[in-house]
Amino acid sequence: MIFSTFQFMFVFLPLVVCGFFLLCKHRLPRAAALWLLGASLVYYGWWNPAYLLLIVCSLTGNYLLAAVMVSASGTLRRMLLAGGVAANIGLLGYYKYTDFVIGSYNALTGAAVPLQHIVLPLAISFFTFQQVAYLVDCHRGRAGTHGFVDYALFVCFFPQLIAGPIVHHAEMMPQFASLRSRVVQWQNIYTGLFLFSLGLFKKVVLADNLAVFAGYGFDSADTLSMGVAWGTSLAYTMQLYFDFSGYTDMALGASQMLNIRLPDNFISPYRAVNIQDFWRRWHITLSRWLRDYLYIPLGGSRRSESRTLVNLVFTFLLGGLWHGAGWTFVAWGAAHGAAMAVHRVWSAGGRRMPALAGWACTFLFVNLAWVLFRAESFADALKVYEGMAGLHGFGMTRTFKDMFEAATGVGPYGQLQFLLPACLAAFVLPNSRTLRGLVSPGMFWTAWIVICLFCSLYFMADAAHVSEFIYFRF
């Protein structure tokens, strides 16, 4: 069930919020928790009920394993952890990487092993990482014991289930148990509506319209001139940010209406002045997971400088592979790993770059790397890179204009009305975290304005052509 659909905005979400607080008002906290859990499972099963069994078995198995692990010690605890992590990664690997491995094997050896065409279950990358972190923390003695319903809610809580943020048990479990979470907090309702509306605007007005230009450049055009290639790459750079950031704002908003605070996932990443700064701002919860459960266990920066650089590159290689089963994702991860290694070596001697130059270099690199992230193949990426280098001319030809308009129904220059505001918002305007703080408790009328905006934005969108969020594929 996509956040921007009629069913979610005007039926599912109001019913869940009203039902939760009604049960809490009648002092039925366990029933309220079960209501949220049931709603979350309905939300997940809306796409394909068959995969409900997968997520229920996964969270039940991990919960039971964690319960045994807490009471175990020494070698047995380590064996249980190894088995649990292997089972989780194995399940993810089967669904997400089986065809990737077979295809790579066929390409390398010339074999003809048939692909399995396994359908990737929604959210498997996200709930796998959350549960692996929980098992690791149980092994470290940091997780404690929790009831099954609270654990299941931690895994399945519908606002963050499909595409994050990747939450940590320590920041979610106490909120589910808090008495304050069971009373209507009007400030949270106002703020949640505002965030949800802001995310909806990012998705349906900016991201979905930018997708038209990016999609034609990557998927339809045979060659690209320099202007078109740079426009294509920049359109995708902005599309990706406002698509994923929009989803996250909607997730945070829906969650805050229920008095649950999800962690921030974006803090103006395109204003970063170096690549390390970028990863402290972009998909923050994934960066945190990779640091705490991969980079640091590998040795982090506690070993030799050469080992530290290897750890960085390896961490980003796996981060790239987590995003998608394809060599372009591996290359994208490798590029970011190499950039992080170069930044570390550069900074080690106390060298610093002026802020403006640092921002320009960082954004240029990020924009170039997103080409690999978006391209379906290296040939598609090369097509865009050749165009950006000016190998196929510099201006927009009449043929391209006519073909673009015929394919999309709009003129290519019309995309500027979305690209320019997107750049302005990404580079200059206050971000969601700043704007959230402007919603004051006494402004009751603000809620009604936001509700009107919320409804208007929905009807501005073409409800018959609701597009899924990019990170649903990962």
Tell which residue, 28, 42, 135, 51, has the closest CA to residue 88. 135
Same domain, 120 and 213: no
Please report the pLDDT score of residue 427 as a whole number.
94
Residue 75 within any structural domain of the chain:
yes
Average pLDDT over residues 119-128: 89
Residue 8 within any structural domain of the chain:
no
Q: Tell me how far apart the alpha carbons of residues 276 and 243 are, in angstroms, rounded to a whole number.
A: 22
Paired residues of 391 in beta bridges: 393
pLDDT in tens, 381-416: 999 999 999 887 876 665 556 566 655 556 656 667
pLDDT in tens, 207-239: 988 988 888 889 888 888 888 899 899 999 999
Same domain, 259 and 220: yes
Same domain, 60 and 152: yes
Q: Tell me how far apart the alpha carbons of residues 385 and 326 are, in angstroms, rounded to a whole number.
A: 19
pLDDT in tens, 11-57: 999 999 999 999 998 888 889 999 999 999 999 998 788 889 999 99
Looking at the annotation, which residues are catalytic? 323
Calculate the alpha carbon distances from 316 to 309, 323, 332, 339 in Å: 11, 11, 9, 10
Q: Tell me how far apart the alpha carbons of residues 279 and 129 are, in angstroms, rounded to a whole number.
A: 18
Residue 418 within any structural domain of the chain:
yes
Judge whether 59 and 127 are in contact, CB under 8 Å: yes
Same domain, 49 and 149: yes
Judge whether 129 and 438 are in contact, CB under 8 Å: no
CA end-to-end span of the chain: 16
Same domain, 386 and 457: yes
| Domain stop point among 128, 151, 177 | 177
Same domain, 383 and 446: yes
Residue 33 within any structural domain of the chain:
no
Same domain, 96 and 232: no
The one-letter code for the residue type at 186 is W
Q: What is the DSSP letter of 72?
A: -
Task: Return the CA Rg of the chain.
Answer: 23
Same domain, 255 and 112: no
- Total-model pTM: 0.90
Average pLDDT over residues 270-277: 95
pLDDT at 474 over 90: no
pLDDT at 84 over 90: yes
Segments of 161-316 assigned E as strands: none
| Domain stop point among 139, 158, 177 | 177
Residue 343 within any structural domain of the chain:
no
Q: Which residues of 351-367 are buried (b: 16+ CB within 10 A; e: fewer)?
A: eebeeeebbeebbebbb
Same domain, 364 and 261: yes
Is pLDDT larger for residue 339 or for residue 349? 339
Same domain, 365 and 415: yes
In the chain, what is the greatest distance between 2 CA atoms, to the nearest angstrom? Answer: 72
Tell which residue, 206, 240, 246, 254, has the closest CA to residue 13. 254
Same domain, 159 and 218: no
Residue 399 within any structural domain of the chain:
yes
Residue span of the structural domain in which 239 resides: 188-273+353-473
Residue 332 within any structural domain of the chain:
no
Same domain, 237 and 157: no
Judge whether 15 and 9 are in contact, CB under 8 Å: no
Judge whether 323 and 314 are in contact, CB under 8 Å: no
pLDDT at 472 over 90: no
| Domain stop point among 129, 156, 177 | 177
Residue 294 within any structural domain of the chain:
no
Domain count, the chain: 2
Q: What are phi and psi of 80, to 5 degrees?
A: -65, -40
